[in-house]
Amino acid sequence: MTLNISGRCLCGSVSFECSAEPVFQGCCHCDDCRRSGGSLYASFVFVPTETLLVTGETHSYQHQSDRGSTMTKEFCPTCGSQMFSSGSYSPDRRGIRVGVIDDASWFRPDAYVYASKKLPHTPVDPETTAYEKMRTT
């Protein structure tokens, strides 16, 4: 399957395109992802960094993960939509928040990470792999 991933923030000031296949698709239940997105968990598709073409200006926020990586969250400075995520543990990958993809009907997580932090009422697919902490590969 060849994907042409495109999307934008809520106000349209930031848009992106990527024709690379995701190297990983996942949902993260860690406290940081829940707080940064204001949701039960965050869903991402990770693509090779050099394949993502971003139009418009993003602002970023960095923090340390519980595993010692520097995490960078990128968001639209106008509407606040969180767009991208990256970590110093894997600088060759950039995560795209699934909610900002124009047509994400194909999204299916390869795994849930930080399943140990999942809120009790959050539905998950029992056939999808669940890692108690961050996936390291």
Per-residue pLDDT tens digits for 88-129: 988 899 999 999 999 999 999 999 999 999 999 998 999 999
Q: How far apart are CA 71 and CA 89, in angstroms?
A: 9
In this predicted structure, the answer to whether residue 137 has a pLDDT above a threshold of 50 is no
Residues 22 and 47 sit within 8 Å (Cβ to Cβ): yes
pLDDT score for 127:
93
CATH architecture under which domain 5-23+44-110 falls: Beta Complex (2.170)
| pTM given for the model | 0.91
Per-residue pLDDT tens digits for 71-96: 999 999 999 999 999 999 888 999 99
Q: Would you call 15 exposed, middle or buried from its count of C-beta atoms within 10 A (0-12, 13-18, 19+)?
A: middle
What are the sequence ranges of the domains in the chain?
5-23+44-110
Per-residue pLDDT tens digits for 10-28: 999 999 999 899 999 999 9
Higher pLDDT, 132 or 121: 121
Residues 12 and 76 sit within 8 Å (Cβ to Cβ): no
Nearest CA to 30 out of 109, 124, 118, 125 is that of 118
